[in-house]
Amino acid sequence: MTDILQISNLSKKFSSGFEALKSVNLNIAKGEIFALLGPNGAGKTTLISIICGIVTPSSGQVLVNGHDIITQYRQARTLIGLVPQEIYTDSFETVWNTVAFSRGLYGKAPNPDLIEQLLRSLSLWEKKNSKIITLSGGMKRRLMIAKALSHEPSILFLDEPTAGVDVSLRKDMWGLVRDLKNAGTTIILTTHYIEEAEEMADRIGIIRQGELMLVEKKTSLMKKLGKKELTLQLQTALPAIPASLDLPGLSLSPDHLELTYSFDANTQQLGIAGLLQRLSDLGIAFKDLHTTQSSLEDIFVGLINSETTHHEA
Ligand SMILES: Nc1ncnc2c1ncn2[C@@H]1O[C@H](COP(=O)(O)OP(=O)(O)OP(=O)(O)O)[C@@H](O)[C@H]1O
Ligand SMILES: [Mg+2]
């Protein structure tokens, strides 16, 4: 099966001479949720804008379900729904009309049931007759999602979908995205919330300064991040780690008051329970303990920082 989105050697140089995208290659499978992570100015919106036909590429090719976004613009465009980062709407139009009209723009027959279902799933049903100007920021963003889905696209682009949306509605939105995926829609989203990528994505891409630096399955990325650390504050100083407790990953602080155990949460090493049992058997008492786990955020920040150093070198 061919991928629903095929991006090859895509570059964008703005008239200012600024290179916003540098030879990006990326394929997206049908039904996938792909999260694009990257700092401000990395090129996320530029990439999405090119695919959606808002910005023209300088070189390279994009195929949407096999249709070239330039030579087969119409076929490509009907398959795409876009929720842009910047919200722009006609303030005096109602919620219902905005969504219904957008469907009409794509030449699709009216479908009030579909629009009702969309508005309900986005908690906008009560607002169906409200003018957009009266909506809150989060409601406007949800309206943009309803609008983007009104013509039943196969691929939905969400550029920072939950910026300015509160925590409980963000969770609802994640649910909606999951429902869309289950219904077969492919979803590409950009986000600054690592938690969001972790929660939803099948694959994650990290972009920086116009370069796609890493594309990986979330599960394999998370496996790499499976390192956990347990720190125990001891009641009394321990002169040395007892020979019977000699484990890889176990270390004693210079003041002999803290034991740290680094282990991989994915491979069943001794684990926390086992370690605590052994300490208890040895009569080593502790006052307090805490665990930390490296997250996607750590790898993301690490990658961005290491690359910065690399570029400056
Ligand atoms: N029309 C333009 N002319 C010149 N440079 C532009 C233009 N549009 C965007 N850029 C530059 O291209 C780079 C990438 O911008 P883009 O909006 O794609 O970033 P982004 O990853 O979406 O960032 P953010 O997380 O802030 O939304 C930025 O440095 C931006 O200033
Ligand atoms: Mg952006």
> What confidence tens digit (pLDDT) does each residue in 236-271 have?
999 999 888 878 888 999 999 999 988 776 665 677
Question: Do 84 and 198 fall within a single domain?
Answer: yes
Which of 202, 223, 244 terminates a domain? The answer is: 223
**Which of 46, 52, 194 for a ligand 1 pocket mutation test, highest count of atoms within 8 Å of Cβ?**
46
H or E element, residue 207: strand 203-208
Q: What is the CATH number of the domain that holds 197?
A: 3.40.50.300
pLDDT score, position 73: 92
Question: Do 170 and 85 fall within a single domain?
Answer: yes
pLDDT score, position 197: 83
pLDDT score, position 307: 53
pLDDT score, position 301: 67
Name the percent of the chain lying above pLDDT 90.
55
Contact 52, 157 (CB under 8 A): yes
Give the ligand with the smallest distance to the CA of 12: 1
Q: Which amino acid belongs to residue 177?
A: V
How far separated are the first and last CA of the chain, in Å rounded? 43
14 in a structural domain: yes
The token duo for 5 is 């989105």
pLDDT score, position 290: 86
What is the phi/psi pair of residue 41, to 5°?
A: 80, 10
CA of 85 to the centre of ligand 2 (A): 6
CA of 308 to the centre of ligand 1 (A): 18
Give the ligand with the smallest distance to the CA of 209: 1
pLDDT score, position 313: 34
Distances (CA, A) of 95 to 74, 88, 120, 151, 205: 26, 13, 12, 16, 34
Nearest ligand 1 atom to alpha carbon 55: 1
Give the model's confidence band at 28: pLDDT under 50 very low, under 70 low, under 90 confident, else very high.
Answer: very high
Instruction: Indicate the number of domains in the chain.
Output: 2
Give the model's confidence band at 311: pLDDT under 50 very low, under 70 low, under 90 confident, else very high.
Answer: very low
Which of 180, 207, 223 terminates a domain? The answer is: 223
Q: How far apart are CA 118 and CA 106, in angstroms?
A: 17
Residue nearest to atom 26 of ligand 1 (CA): 40
Question: Which residues on neighbouring strands pair with residue 181, listed in sequence order?
Answer: none
Query: What's the alpha-carbon Rg for the chain, to the nearest Å?
Result: 25
Instruction: State how beta strands 203-208 and 33-37 pair.
Output: parallel
CA of 245 to the centre of ligand 2 (A): 51
**Which of 12, 22, 36, 44 for a ligand 1 pocket mutation test, highest count of atoms within 8 Å of Cβ?**
44
Question: Do 182 and 279 fall within a single domain?
Answer: no
Question: Which residues in 242-310 belong to E strands, given as ranges?
Answer: 250-252, 258-264, 286-293
Residue nearest to atom 18 of ligand 1 (CA): 43
Q: How far apart are CA 217 and CA 34, in angstroms?
A: 9
Residue nearest to atom 31 of ligand 1 (CA): 41
Residue nearest to atom 10 of ligand 1 (CA): 20
**CB within 6 Å of ligand 1 — which residues?**
14, 16, 18, 20, 38, 40-46, 85
Q: What is the CATH number of the domain that holds 241?
A: 3.30.70
Q: How far apart are CA 134 and CA 94, in angstroms?
A: 10
Domain housing 287: 226-293
Average pLDDT in the chain: 87
Question: Do 59 and 155 fall within a single domain?
Answer: yes
pLDDT score, position 249: 84
CA of 169 to the centre of ligand 2 (A): 21
307 in a structural domain: no
Residue nearest to atom 6 of ligand 1 (CA): 14
Instruction: Summarize pLDDT for 163-218 with one digit per residue, the tens.
Output: 777 788 788 788 888 888 998 999 999 987 777 888 889 999 989 899 998 899 98
Q: Which of 77-81, 98-102, 104-108 has the lowest mean pLDDT?
A: 104-108
Give the model's confidence band at 291: pLDDT under 50 very low, under 70 low, under 90 confident, else very high.
Answer: confident
Question: Do 27 and 158 fall within a single domain?
Answer: yes
pLDDT score, position 310: 44
What is the phi/psi pair of residue 158, to 5°?
A: -120, 105
Distances (CA, A) of 305 to 11, 99, 301, 309: 24, 42, 6, 6
Question: Do 33 and 89 fall within a single domain?
Answer: yes
Question: Do 218 and 242 fall within a single domain?
Answer: no
- Is the pTM higher than 0.85? The answer reads no
Instruction: Summarize pLDDT for 113-141 with one digit per residue, the tens.
Output: 999 999 998 889 999 999 999 998 888 88
CA of 305 to the centre of ligand 1 (A): 20
Which of 223, 239, 265 terminates a domain? The answer is: 223
| Residue 224 three-state SS | helix
